[in-house]
Amino acid sequence: MKWKSHAAITRAVCKELGVPEHYEEMIVDGAVEPDRNPVLVGRSTTKRLRVAHHGRSDRATTVLLWKARAAYLDGDDEHACRHLGRALHYIQDRCVSRCLSWHRHCLLEERIMELAVPHGQVINGIRHSKSSPDFIRSCVKAIRPSSEPFSALAQATFYSAAIISSVLDGPDPPPSIEEMLRRSSIIRTITLVTSAVSATILIFLALGSAGPLLLVLLIIPAVSMAISERRYRSLIELAEWHGCL
Ligand SMILES: [Zn+2]
């Protein structure tokens, strides 16, 4: 996507949300930054890779959104805006198909640049927004590249609005988050212990008279542990998203 489109979408959403101009500029700067200064992934300094602008970049985008949220909760608005803008760049680029050739892709970007940002999609995105890590993850996953200019722009606008609104929403945890966490932690411990005990019994039985076929049943404690761990992690993330941990 061209810088003009990145800036236009981001500005339209910031204006609707009443983001002060100074911060709007920071988010817009962030939204064009990855084309000058790409986000790199990977641990090794020699093998770090550029995050794909028009391919799957879900994980890197989600990490940037988490950084934005953490900075926002810390009161570090400058970094919050920068990380949010950088994440928006990948979200908006992802809406645009790579097309059959680079030439076609450039034509598509130019046609998108000529269109006005659809205000209805700004409103829709804000209306559908929820402030939670599951929501931003689902948005990032749901994006599908389009080779039709208006559809690509509408999608980029909708998800930009939903995500900016989600990240810049004030901390508002569910009132019972601490109780939910406490219960989930107890369930997780019980599941862990019962799964470990039942797995041990199954292994002993399988090694004895019951035969190795019994090992198939190990899937039950494994699935139980995975489900309870997932629920617990999801609550921890929700608490972190709202600054409770
Ligand atoms: Zn780009």
**pLDDT single digits (tens) 2-48:** 999 999 999 999 999 999 999 999 999 999 999 888 777 766 555 66
Phi, psi of 198 (to 5 degrees): -65, -35
Q: Write down the mean pLDDT value for the chain.
A: 92
**DSSP code, position 117:** P
Predicted pLDDT at 210:
74
Residue type, 89: H
User: Angle at the Cα of 143 (from 141 to 148), degrees rounded to 5?
Assistant: 165
Residues with CB under 5 Å of ion ligand 1 are 35, 53, 93
Taking the centre of ligand 1 as the mean of its atom positions, its distance from the CA of residue 214, in whole angstroms, is: 53
Query: Where are the strands (E) in the chain, listed by range?
Result: 40-41, 49-50
Q: Which residue has the tokens 């494994």?
A: 222
**DSSP code, position 197:** H
**Closest to 114 in 3D by CA, of 159, 145, 150:** 150
CB 164 within 8 A of CB 27: yes
Query: What SS3 class is residue 56?
Result: coil
Taking the centre of ligand 1 as the mean of its atom positions, its distance from the CA of residue 34, in whole angstroms, is: 6
Taking the centre of ligand 1 as the mean of its atom positions, its distance from the CA of residue 245, in whole angstroms, is: 34
Predicted pLDDT at 24:
98
Q: What is the Cβ-side half-sphere exposure of residue 218, based on CA atoms within 13 angstroms?
A: 14
Q: What is the Cβ-side half-sphere exposure of residue 60, based on CA atoms within 13 angstroms?
A: 23
Alpha-carbon span 158 to 151, nearest angstrom: 10
Alpha-carbon span 161 to 122, nearest angstrom: 5
CB 181 within 8 A of CB 142: no
Taking the centre of ligand 1 as the mean of its atom positions, its distance from the CA of residue 216, in whole angstroms, is: 48
Taking the centre of ligand 1 as the mean of its atom positions, its distance from the CA of residue 124, in whole angstroms, is: 24
For the stretch 206-240, pLDDT in tens is 888 777 777 888 899 899 999 999 999 999 999 99
Taking the centre of ligand 1 as the mean of its atom positions, its distance from the CA of residue 90, in whole angstroms, is: 7
Predicted pLDDT at 137:
95
Q: First vs last Cα of the chain: how many Å apart? A: 37
Taking the centre of ligand 1 as the mean of its atom positions, its distance from the CA of residue 1, in whole angstroms, is: 6
For the stretch 106-160, pLDDT in tens is 999 999 999 999 999 999 999 999 999 999 999 999 999 999 999 999 999 999 9
Predicted pLDDT at 206:
84
Taking the centre of ligand 1 as the mean of its atom positions, its distance from the CA of residue 89, in whole angstroms, is: 6
Taking the centre of ligand 1 as the mean of its atom positions, its distance from the CA of residue 32, in whole angstroms, is: 7
Query: What SS3 class is residue 96?
Result: strand
